Amino acid sequence: MTSVAIVYHSGYGHTKAIAEAVNKGVASVAGVTVHFMSVADADTQWETLAKADAIIFGAPTYMGSASAPMKAFMDATSKVWFTMGWKDKIAAGFTVSSAQSGDKLSTLNQFVTFAMQHGMIWIGTGMMPGNSNSKGSVDDLNRIGSATGLMSQANADQGVEGIAASDFKTAEVFGARVAQFAVKNAA
Amino acid sequence: MTSVAIVYHSGYGHTKAIAEAVNKGVASVAGVTVHFMSVADADTQWETLAKADAIIFGAPTYMGSASAPMKAFMDATSKVWFTMGWKDKIAAGFTVSSAQSGDKLSTLNQFVTFAMQHGMIWIGTGMMPGNSNSKGSVDDLNRIGSATGLMSQANADQGVEGIAASDFKTAEVFGARVAQFAVKNAA
Amino acid sequence: MTSVAIVYHSGYGHTKAIAEAVNKGVASVAGVTVHFMSVADADTQWETLAKADAIIFGAPTYMGSASAPMKAFMDATSKVWFTMGWKDKIAAGFTVSSAQSGDKLSTLNQFVTFAMQHGMIWIGTGMMPGNSNSKGSVDDLNRIGSATGLMSQANADQGVEGIAASDFKTAEVFGARVAQFAVKNAA
Amino acid sequence: MTSVAIVYHSGYGHTKAIAEAVNKGVASVAGVTVHFMSVADADTQWETLAKADAIIFGAPTYMGSASAPMKAFMDATSKVWFTMGWKDKIAAGFTVSSAQSGDKLSTLNQFVTFAMQHGMIWIGTGMMPGNSNSKGSVDDLNRIGSATGLMSQANADQGVEGIAASDFKTAEVFGARVAQFAVKNAA
């Protein structure tokens, strides 16, 4: 079995909901076991992470970069970094904020830089942008138009019900893509 | 008079239309003269640029960064850079692409880095994100939710008519903000 | 008096030492009061920050971005952001890591994005790169070659004695530049 | 045979020299054919690129991002992008400038964003930073300390003789890493 871990932080539940949709996409791929963990639990999961073939990182974008609890987890991985313990694992990322664009790319780039320090291999959405021509709409896959990782948008004054159905669907497709590549790479 | 230059590249007219809206906003500020120039003409404008108090850079985002003609202009400024001729001028930037987010932040960050090499002072939109809660819509100012510079979105299969009215209005407000700060800073 | 605040996090003392050199540079400018604070103390300093004309942010680069305690401070500023309480203040940043380049630019860009969300005005080093030709050396000002903010390098196996004298001098010059612009802008 | 293409722009020969060292590293891996091309020739090489398993992009950092001729090549790939013709190919990047750090990360991030738009898979150096402790020196592998891609430094007033031997060696190791992963991924 190929092992894919999802490590996320969620402040108000939006990122957790997107993480679950990513999880669903990963789990839909034959031959894959998913390990789903909040950064609050990650501290007990170093062995699971050490054995993972791929790790997907997710966090809300707060003030233009990954949330502080996510960053605390990232800093804690420096022990792994010293031994290059995650070298050549697959990495991917997702982020959520209330703005449509709203510096989400900054968070995804932060994840790329982090993964590169670990010697990991980065995979993005592989999707064309949705909602980018006169026939498009917010119902399109990848409606925000992101390539480096998954971008989702959640209204600031709502709970999970304020996230578009297309964002959940995009998250599933994204999760499946990462898992398929992890299976291929682990072969 | 405070002098504000707008240097843009436009491939299909969308960025030019946004540049004109920025121009309108700049020109609305008392005590300001605007110098509006395409990068095609910039080569004859080095003296104007040398005297400008502020320079606003604009280009479409092509393949994740500023268009090649814009980059050719940026590279040509290396002669100015050697003498730090633009040091302490005000700088700002805008970009247009068909995707909602679509790596526009990458282009704006590219402009920031460029301006910093010139020793310039960077000013962003100063606007809260629009269209980020349940009462929001694409009619909001700053509907894309950008802080570092102006982001506009133009449908890939349309001309200027495919740009939202809110994007033109946002461009005007942005231009006025840059001009007001240029006036203050030149005092 | 023009008020300049320095808000830093330091894990092992290197960043604090650089922060003190920045402080020295700021304090060398006539008409300036400096407020020097660790993020550990920043929570009691919101009023001081609210009155500051400029804020300089500093943190080590850990795993490719600002350290988690710095990020926790940045996230805590979201209350200020809701009211745009720091709009039009001057902002600048510095970072330290053991690698020469080592993704320090990633941290500086993170500070830029953060400052832009607050509607602040960003000022960089305004310095040409040192140590970039055959006559150059590590004794040069700006030996790392940074424009967006101050980059310092500290050997991983040493304390403050492992930081080059040129880095301390560069930090002073940088602090003075930010303070001078703050004075001009406050006039 | 696994096919690895190197597409580079070189203004004064420094980047070409580094590209050749990357080439040497790629060619050292069993089962690999290298296609080495300047962007000046890339226009006749679309079929070769279409068949490549991996593409390594290289350019000098000019004014904070990839040189304009490199960007012109990148923009020309938009035709490939429309059909996602490079999806799932391996991508990597390198850059050269006279400063030690000097916004080289900005160019590498630009390549990452570009590769992600193409749906490619990104691989970095996988190397720990050199010259980052008291026993280190400029003779170390990865002396600049880069993870996202290869960073080399060339003195502004010298030709290829102004590039450290360690940078050529680092380029070889980097090329070999990309090629090894391409072989594995093509299997």
* Residue D169 confidence class, pLDDT cut points 50, 70, 90: very high
Model confidence pLDDT, tens digit, residues B127-177: 999 999 999 999 999 999 999 999 999 999 999 999 999 999 999 999 999
Average pLDDT over residues B41-50: 92
Residue B178 CA to its chain's centroid (Å): 10
For residues C69-96, average pLDDT:
98
Cβ–Cβ contact B131 with C under 8 A: no
Q: Give the model confidence (pLDDT) of A79-127 as tens digits.
A: 999 999 999 999 999 999 999 988 999 999 999 999 999 999 999 999 9
Residue B111: in which H helix or E strand, if any?
Answer: helix B104-117
Q: Tell me the average pLDDT of chain B.
A: 97
Nearest to B81 among D63, D78, D114 (CB): D63
The whole-number pLDDT of residue C66 equals 98
> Could you give the CA distance from residue C63 to residue A116 in angstroms, rounded to a whole number?
9
Provide the pLDDT for residue A102.
Answer: 81
Across the interface, do A121 and D122 touch by the CB < 8 Å criterion? yes
Residue B43 pLDDT level (bands cut at 50, 70, 90)? confident
Residue C182, both tokens: 């703050």
CA D163 from chain center: how many Å?
A: 16
Instruction: Using alpha carbons, select from C176, C184, C164, C159 the residue that is nearest to residue C26.
Output: C176
Task: Tell me the chain D residues in contact with residue B109 when contact means C-beta distances shorter than 8 Å.
Answer: 106, 109
pLDDT, position D42: 84
Residue of A nearest to C65 (CA): A110
DSSP secondary-structure letter at B163?
B
Band of residue A57 on the pLDDT scale cut at 50, 70, 90: very high
When scoring B88, B94, B117 by the number of chain C Cβ atoms within 10 A, the one with the most, hence best to mutate, is B117
Neighbours of chain D (3+ CB pairs under 8 A): A, B, C
Note the pLDDT of residue C102. 81
Region B51-77 average pLDDT: 98
CA distances to B7, C127, C151, D127 from C19, in Å: 37, 18, 12, 30
Residues of B in contact with A140 (CB under 8 A): none
| Predicted local confidence at residue A44, as pLDDT | 87
Nearest Cα of chain C lies from the Cα of B123 at a distance, in angstroms, of 5
The length of chain A in residues reads 187
Distance of CA D140 to the CA centre of its chain: 19
Q: What is the pTM of this model?
A: 0.98
pLDDT band at B29 (very low <50, low <70, confident <90, very high): very high
Asked if residue A187 has pLDDT above 90, the reply is no
pLDDT of res. A5: 98
- Interface ipTM > 0.95: yes
D80 vs C: CB within 8 A? no
Count the residues in chain B: 187
Residue C35 has pLDDT above 90, yes or no: yes
pLDDT band at D110 (very low <50, low <70, confident <90, very high): very high
Reported as type and span, the H/E element at residue A120 is: none
Whether D44 shows a pLDDT value over 90: the answer reads: no
What beta strand segments (E) does A124-182 contain? Answer: 150-153
The CA radius of gyration of chain D, in Å to the nearest whole number, is: 15
Give me the mean pLDDT over the C94-117 stretch: 96
| β B121-123/A150-153 pair status | unpaired
Sequence length of chain D is: 187
Whole-angstrom CA distances from A44 to A37, A41, A49, A58, D89 are: 10, 6, 10, 18, 35
Three-state DSSP state, D97: strand
pLDDT of residue D102: 81
Q: Does B116 contact C124 at a Cβ distance shorter than 8 Å?
A: yes
**DSSP-derived pairing of the beta strands D90-97 and D150-153:** parallel
Please answer yes or no on whether A132 and B105 come within 8 Å at the CB atom. no
Cβ–Cβ gap B88/C126 under 8 Å: yes
What mean pLDDT comes out for the span A12-36? 98
Calpha distance C118→D79 (Å, rounded)? 39
Cα A39 to Cα C148: distance, rounded to the nearest angstrom: 32
Q: Which chain D residues have a beta carbon less than 8 Å from that of C163?
A: none
Indicate which of C101, C137, C155 best probes the interface with D, i.e. most D CBs within 10 Å of its own CB.
C101
Q: What region does B46 belong to: left with phi over 0, alpha with psi -120 to 50, or beta?
A: alpha
Q: Closest Cα of chain B to D114: distance in Å?
A: 5
Residue C31 pLDDT more than 90? yes
What are D10's two structure tokens? 């070189």
pLDDT at C159 over 90: yes
**Cβ contacts of C49 within 8 Å, gap of 6 or more:** C5, C7, C35, C42, C55, C80, C86
> Would you place residue D176 in the very low, low, confident or very high pLDDT band (cuts 50, 70, 90)?
very high
Asked if residue A43 has pLDDT above 90, the reply is: no
Residue B102: the pLDDT is 81
On whether the CB atoms of residues A166 and A130 are closer than 8 A, the answer is yes
For C35, residues 6+ apart whose C-beta sits below 8 A from its C-beta are: C3, C4, C5, C6, C45, C48, C49, C52
pLDDT class of A136 with cuts at 50, 70, 90: very high
Within 8 A of A78 by CB-CB distance, chain C residues are 62-63
Taking the alpha carbons at both ends of chain A, their separation in whole angstroms is 10
Summarize pLDDT for D88-101 with one digit per residue, the tens: 999 999 999 999 98
CB atoms within 10 A of CB D1: 10
Tell me the residue length of chain C: 187
Residue whose entry in the numeric block shows the structure tokens 């001028």: B89
Q: Which residues of A touch B104 (CB under 8 A)?
A: 101
- Measured in angstroms, the CA of C121 and the nearest CA of chain A are apart by 16
CB pairs under 8 A between A and D: 61
For chain A, give the percent of residues with pLDDT over 90: 96
Instruction: Report chain A residues whose CB lies below 8 A from the CB of B101.
Output: 100-101, 104-105, 144-146, 151
Q: Does D137 touch chain C (CB under 8 A)?
A: no
How far apart, in whole angstroms, are the C-alpha atoms of residue B13 and residue C61? Answer: 41
Flag whether residue C159 sits within 8 Å of chain D, measured between CB atoms: no
pLDDT in tens, B108-134: 999 999 999 999 999 999 999 999 999
Work out the minimum CA distance from D164 to partner chain B, whole angstroms.
Answer: 24
Cβ within 8 Å, pair A148-D112: yes
What b/e readout covers C79-116, taking b as 16+ CB neighbours within 10 angstroms? ebbeeeebebbbbbbbbbbbbbbbbbbbbbbbbbbbbb
CB-CB: which of B101, B131, B143 is closest to A105? B101
Q: What percent of chain A has pLDDT over 70?
A: 100
Contact C124 B109 (CB under 8 A): no
What pLDDT shows up at residue B153?
Answer: 97
User: Mean pLDDT across chain A, nearest whole number?
Assistant: 97
Q: What is the mean pLDDT of residues A46-75?
A: 98
Q: Indicate the angle between helix axes A104-117 and D104-117, nearest 10 degrees.
A: 110
Beta-bridged to residue C184, according to DSSP, are none
B67 touches chain D (CB under 8 A): yes
CA–CA min distance D69, chain B (Å): 8
D65, D67, D68 ranked by CB distance to B110: nearest: D65
For chain C, give the mean pLDDT.
Answer: 97
Strand partners, B5: B35, B55
